[in-house]
Every structure is written in structure tokens, then in C-alpha cells.
């Protein structure tokens, strides 16, 4: 679960105000300017406290973050801190794209909901209906993949599966994953027996999207979600746009006590478990559409927020690409890939979202801790 963290000092000082300018709260695009005119701006105190949160680990020469708070789909706070490119000193702005890591699972889940509304699938269909190559496909449902209760092994924890992927290709893709899984006769658990987080399971959902739609995962996302919503700075790896270098943030990790760019991984070709790049500005457009009922019906989205029902009757609090609060107050997800870290929290009754994207993997910095600090400024809490 997401951890709670005590608030940092709230003092409003000259240095804090300087930090707000030096780290850049970001330039606004025309539509975000319009949003700002229609909605309350954060108080000087709230803006200063948010700047303080990042001043602890960001300075003028380090990687940083982009942050967004929205209410009812309208902008409340929007900021950026630190550098997108350490070599040329390019500052991060809210228009720049970060890899979302596992926060991208909600886009895979959304695609399944869209296909369900088109009558192309049912959440309780066995995946073997669409992927007959899998020897255990008739035992697992789409819903179980979405809920992480399928028993499909995760290549992050199964060395044999990971090695089998890299034996097929130095840069395996979804076809390689399907071929490897087709040769494996055993699951790690009986379907429906327990919750076991599985990136493999969500990549199988990515394969289902491709098999059912007849499009690549990247093309489906572009044509069905990103383009209709005007998310012009969003895309799915490995289809990196040629000009993306101008607006895609580099991520940085520490190697031999130095920050080095970490922009590619051998498993970047697997899509479904977390291959989405997006800016906080684009996520505002997405947030407005998703929670405004513009993407799927209220009835369909309610399916995404149901706890999973295990075989023994107990509930597991993971929906379709979202971790669920047991009290129903919020939904959330964290993500990490390359050296990117992310956190997306949405408070359901109030329709408030907090999004934090980082381009560094400092083990002492948790984006969900930061998100909870920011939420507390607006009188919301999660843990």
C-alpha cells in the first residue's frame, strides 16, 4: 500500500519563493491558461509548501519532477522542477513527457473497457477464446488478468521466464512473450486463488488488445485514446516519435556516484504492463475525460472499481489498473521504469486528482509520499 509521511516544515521564506521561480512552475499552454482563469489558484502558502517538497532533492543542476492537481477536471495546481536534460540544461516543463511505468496499466485496462463496450469481449471471457496458443488459456479470465489474480508468472520475479524471453531476443516484444508462455504448461497459482502482481498478465492484456483490434498496442492507444483527447505529447513505447527528443524527459540513475541517463531497457518492447509516456498536461485532459464519463459509461467504469473476489470469497483491493482504498475514498497507482517514478491518486467523491512524475530513481524519494503531502494541503489523505 502507499505509505503516509509526515508533512515537511510549512514556513514561507524568501528562499522558498526563490525556489518557486528557479525551479520553474512551468509555462502554460493556451488551454491550461483558460483552465486557470476558470478555477481557483493555489494560495501562496500551498505553492510554497509544494516548492519546499522538491527543494529537498532538486536544485538547478539535477533531475526533477512535474506535478499537477485537478478538481472536477479543472486545473488547481501545475508545476515543474529541475532538468529534463542535464547535458544541455533544459528545464522540465509541464508539457514534457515522462514514462509512467505501471501507472500506464490503467490505459491498458481502459482499452479493455472500450473493447467491452464495443461488444468485442466480456470481462469474464476465458483468455483462451482469443489466445488459443496458451495451454492454460481456458482457465483464466480477462477479469483475473486485470485484477492480478490469474496465477500467470511475473517475469520480474521468475528468472526462468525472464531468461526465456531474452533467449528469444535481445529486445523481446509481445510476440516473443506469447511464444514463451505458449511453451509453459504451469501457472504459479490456481487462477482466482490469490492476488499476485504480474506485469506478464498486463502484457497479455496488451496482446489481447492487439489480437482483438487488429492493431498494434501503440496504434490502438493513439487512435482510440490519445488523438481523440488531444493528448499530443503521449505515446506508447516502442513507437517513440522522431521528434520526441525535444519534449521527452530523460531519466537519470546513479552509476559510480554520477548521474547518468537511463533511456532504454531490453524489455521496452513489451507493451501492456507499462509502456506509456505522457505529460502532466496530457494527463489533465485524460483525467477530465475519464472521470467526466467521456470515455466509458458509468456502469463500465464501476466494474473497474470493484474489488476482486477470490476463490475463497475474500476480496482483493485491486481493480482494473487501479489500487483500491478499502473505504472507497480514493484509487491510486504508482509506477517505476527506467529511472522514472510516478504516482497518480484520485479522490472519488470530490473528483480531485494528484499526479507526480519524477525523472530520477533516488531510493529516498517516493512520488506517492510527495503526492500524499500535496493532497494534505488540500485536506485529503491516503495511505
pTM, to two decimals: 0.88
Is 21 inside a domain boundary? Answer: yes
At 43, the pLDDT band (50, 70, 90 cuts) reads confident
Is 265 inside a domain boundary? Answer: yes
User: Does residue 241 sit in the same domain as residue 97?
Assistant: yes
Is 66 inside a domain boundary? Answer: yes
User: Does residue 238 sit in the same domain as residue 98?
Assistant: yes
Is 65 inside a domain boundary? Answer: yes
Residue 20 has pLDDT above 60, yes or no: no
- Average pLDDT, rounded, for the chain: 88
What is the extent of the structural domain holding 113? 106-213
Is 4 inside a domain boundary? Answer: no
User: Does residue 199 sit in the same domain as residue 57?
Assistant: no
User: Does residue 126 sit in the same domain as residue 93?
Assistant: no
Taking CA atoms, 234 is separated from 2, 34, 283, 356, in Å, by: 26, 21, 9, 16
pLDDT score of 379: 85
Residue 267 has pLDDT above 60, yes or no: yes
User: Does residue 94 sit in the same domain as residue 128?
Assistant: no
pLDDT score of 60: 82
Is 359 inside a domain boundary? Answer: yes
User: Does residue 355 sit in the same domain as residue 242?
Assistant: yes
Task: Identify the domain boundary among 213, 245, 268.
Answer: 213
Query: What is the chain's length?
Result: 383
Task: Identify the domain boundary among 180, 213, 246.
Answer: 213
At 242, the pLDDT band (50, 70, 90 cuts) reads low
User: Does residue 134 sit in the same domain as residue 55?
Assistant: no
pLDDT score of 16: 33
Domain total of the chain: 2
User: Does residue 239 sit in the same domain as residue 258?
Assistant: yes
User: Does residue 138 sit in the same domain as residue 167?
Assistant: yes
Grid cell at residue 367 = 512520488
Is 185 inside a domain boundary? Answer: yes
Question: Treating both helix axes as pointing N-terminal to C-terminal, what angle do 30-38 and 280-291 enclose, rounded to 10 degrees?
Answer: 60
Name the more confident of 383 and 126: 126
User: Does residue 204 sit in the same domain as residue 238?
Assistant: no
User: Does residue 189 sit in the same domain as residue 250?
Assistant: no
Task: Identify the domain boundary among 149, 182, 213.
Answer: 213
User: Does residue 365 sit in the same domain as residue 254?
Assistant: yes
Is 382 inside a domain boundary? Answer: no
Question: Which is it for strands 308-309 and 315-316: parallel, antiparallel or unpaired?
Answer: antiparallel
Residue 15 has pLDDT above 50, yes or no: no
Domain containing residue 368: CATH number: 3.40.710.10
Residue 25 has pLDDT above 90, yes or no: no
Nearest one of 237, 248, 292, 323 to 66, comparing CA atoms? 248
At 45, the pLDDT band (50, 70, 90 cuts) reads confident
pLDDT score of 243: 59
Mean pLDDT within 316-324: 98
Amino acid at each position: 500500500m502507499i505509505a503516509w509521511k509526515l508533512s515537511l516544515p510549512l514556513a514561507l521564506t524568501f528562499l522558498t519563493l526563490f525556489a518557486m521561480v528557479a525551479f520553474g512552475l512551468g509555462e502554460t499552454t493556451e488551454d491550461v491558461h483558460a483552465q486557470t482563469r476558470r478555477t481557483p489558484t493555489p494560495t501562496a502558502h500551498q505553492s510554497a509548501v509544494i516548492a519546499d517538497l522538491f527543494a529537498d532533492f532538486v536544485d538547478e543542476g539535477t533531475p526533477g519532477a512535474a506535478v499537477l492537481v485537478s478538481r472536477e477536471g479543472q486545473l488547481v495546481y501545475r508545476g515543474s522542477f529541475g532538468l529534463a536534460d542535464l547535458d544541455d540544461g533544459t528545464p522540465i516543463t509541464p508539457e514534457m513527457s515522462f514514462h509512467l511505468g505501471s501507472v500506464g496499466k490503467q490505459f491498458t485496462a481502459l482499452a479493455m473497457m472500450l473493447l467491452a463496450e464495443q461488444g468485442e469481449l466480456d470481462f469474464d471471457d476465458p483468455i483462451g477464446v482469443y489466445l488459443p496458443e496458451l495451454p492454460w488459456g481456458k482457465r483464466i479470465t480477462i477479469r483475473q488478468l486485470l485484477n492480478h489474480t490469474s496465477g500467470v508468472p511475473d517475469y520480474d520475479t521468475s528468472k526462468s521466464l525472464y531468461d526465456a524471453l531474452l533467449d528469444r531476443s535481445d529486445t523481446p516484444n509481445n510476440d516473443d512473450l506469447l511464444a514463451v508462455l505458449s511453451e509453459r504448461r504451469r501457472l504459479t497459482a490456481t487462477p482466482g486463488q490469490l492476488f499476485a502482481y504480474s506485469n506478464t498478465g498486463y502484457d497479455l492484456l496488451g496482446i489481447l488488445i492487439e489480437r482483438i483490434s487488429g492493431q498494434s498496442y501503440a496504434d490502438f492507444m493513439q487512435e482510440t485514446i490519445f488523438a481523440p483527447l488531444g493528448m499530443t505529447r503521449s505515446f506508447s513505447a516502442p513507437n517513440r516519435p522522431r521528434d520526441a527528443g525535444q519534449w521527452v524527459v530523460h531519466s537519470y540513475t546513479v552509476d559510480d556516484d554520477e548521474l547518468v541517463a537511463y533511456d532504454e531497457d531490453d524489455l521496452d518492447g513489451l507493451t501492456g504492463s507499462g509502456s506509456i509516456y505522457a505529460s502532466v498536461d496530457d494527463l489533465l485532459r485524460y483525467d477530465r475525460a475519464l472521470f467526466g464519463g467521456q470515455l466509458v459509461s458509468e456502469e463500465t467504469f464501476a466494474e473497474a472499481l470493484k474489488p476482486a473476489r477470490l476463490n475463497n470469497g475474500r476480496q482483493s483491493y485491486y481493480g482494473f489498473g487501479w489500487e483500491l482504498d478499502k473505504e472507497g475514498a480514493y484509487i491510486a497507482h504508482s509506477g517505476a521504469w527506467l529511472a522514472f517514478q510516478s504516482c497518480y491518486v484520485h479522490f472519488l467523491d470530490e473528483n480531485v486528482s494528484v499526479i507526480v512524475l519524477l525523472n530520477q530513481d533516488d531510493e529516498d524519494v517516493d512520488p506517492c509520499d510527495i503526492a500524499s503531502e500535496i493532497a494534505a494541503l488540500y485536506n485529503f489523505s491516503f495511505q
